[in-house]
Amino acid sequence: MYVLIVGGGKVGWNLARELIDKGEEVTLIESDRRRYLVIEQELEHAVQYGDATELWVLERAGIQRADLVIAVTGDDEDNMLVCQVAKEKYLVERIIARVNNPRNLQHFKLLGIQPAVSATDLILRLIEHEVPRYGLVHLLALEEERLEIIELEVGSDAPAAGQTVAEVDLPEGALIISVLRNGGGFVPKADTVIEAGDEVLLVLDPGLEERVTPQFTTRG
């Protein structure tokens, strides 16, 4: 099977590595040159530099013979465009798109881009299942309550890295409701230690995002 992956972030790089280890033929396209050079040290010829929203870049990577195209950049518009082109122009039978903002999930579905995978949406489903055990607010009511949901990746020297959930300096009205680590999501407890590289999901009262974000991002 020939797999074309667009986006050399953490998700795309790990996918490429795992598929190559399983014996699949893989090409990864990354548009950031510095990131590309880092990935090239490990994946060598399996990674190409370029903007995958340009047809010549996709064709150079062999999209015409791809059995599966996976678009996992950090930009929903790019993921949508790549998958549309793969499906409609090159007749790729299997496509998978990453949805960064769950609010865009419906747009992917309307365009026939399936499966469209939203990490946030998957975590929300997990939490909706787990919520009764922990007595947290039921997420189905979030829209009515006008609460906000944000997802943040914990930086290597972020204040929260190495702290327990109870120790993280959060304002009143902010709650950590899920942690995604090593591909698995779970509902943290007060003594759960936040690690660098974790993706944390928080529920906030409106207007708190700017106060919360610095706790999880790398110090500037």
Q: Residues 137, 182: one domain?
A: yes
Closest C-alpha to 201, from 119, 116, 96? 119
Instruction: Note whether 97 and 127 are same-domain residues.
Output: no
Q: Is the pLDDT of residue 201 over 90?
A: no
Measured distance CA(155)–CA(152) in Å, rounded = 9
Q: Are residues 127 and 144 in the same domain?
A: yes
The one-letter amino acid at 9 = G
| Percentage, residues of the chain above pLDDT 70 | 85
Q: What is the CATH number of the domain that holds 158?
A: 3.30.70.1450
- 110 occurs within a structural domain: yes
Which of 54, 82, 117 is at the close of a domain? 117
Both 132 and 69 in a single domain? Answer: no
pLDDT digits (tens, 9 = 90+) for 72-114: 898 889 999 999 999 999 999 889 888 887 777 778 888 788 7
Tell me, yes or no, whether 26 lies in a domain: yes
Question: Is residue 19 in some structural domain?
Answer: yes
Residue 40 exposure: Cα atoms within 13 Å on the Cβ side? 12
- pLDDT given at position 137: 38
173-177, 179-183, 216-220: lowest mean pLDDT where? 216-220
Residue where one domain finishes, among candidates 91, 117, 143:
117
Question: Which amino acid, one-letter code, is at 175?
Answer: L
Give the DSSP letter string of the chain: -EEEEE--SHHHHHHHHHHHHTT-EEEEEES-HHHHHHHHHHHGGGEEES-TTSHHHHHHTTGGG-SEEEE--S-HHHHHHHHHHHHHTS--SEEEEE-SSGGGHHHHHHTT--SEE-HHHHHHHHHHHHHHHHTPPPGGGHHHHT-EEEEEEPPTT-TTTT-BTTTS---TTEEEEEEEETTEEE---TTPBP-TT-EEEEEE-TT-HHHHGGGTS---
131 in Cβ contact with 201 (< 8 Å): no
* pLDDT range class, residue 123, cuts 50, 70, 90: low
Q: Mark whether 155 and 100 lie in a shared domain.
A: no
Domain presence at residue 164: yes
Beta bridge partners, 98, equal 117
H-helix or E-strand containing 33?
Answer: helix 33-43
**The pLDDT of residue 19 is above 70:** yes
pLDDT score at 159: 94
Band of the pLDDT at 2, cuts 50, 70, 90? Answer: very high
Q: Is position 220 within any domain?
A: no
Residues 7 and 94 in one domain: yes
CATH code for the domain in which residue 76 is found: 3.40.50.720
Q: Is 182 inside a domain boundary?
A: yes
Q: Which residue has the higher pLDDT, 215 or 111?
A: 215
Confidence of residue 42 (pLDDT cuts 50, 70, 90): very high
Same domain, 194 and 92: no
Q: Give yes or no for residue 30 having a pLDDT over 50.
A: yes
Neighbours of 75 (CB within 10 A): 15
One domain for residues 8 and 111: yes
Average pLDDT, the chain: 83
Over residues 16-20, mean pLDDT: 88
Residues 157, 155: Cα–Cα separation, whole Å: 6
Domain check: are 166 and 106 in the same one? no
Looking at per-residue pLDDT, the higher value among 172 and 121 belongs to: 172
- Please answer whether residues 65 and 93 qualify as being in contact, where contact means their C-beta atoms are separated by less than 8 angstroms: no
The arithmetic mean of pLDDT across residues 50-55, rounded, is 94
Structural domain count, the chain: 2
Q: How confident is the model at residue 147 (pLDDT cuts 50, 70, 90)?
A: low
Shared domain check, 144 and 83: no
Give the domain-ending residue among 70, 102, 117: 117
Residues 9 and 109 in one domain: yes
Range of the domain at 104: 2-117
Residues 95, 22 share a domain: yes
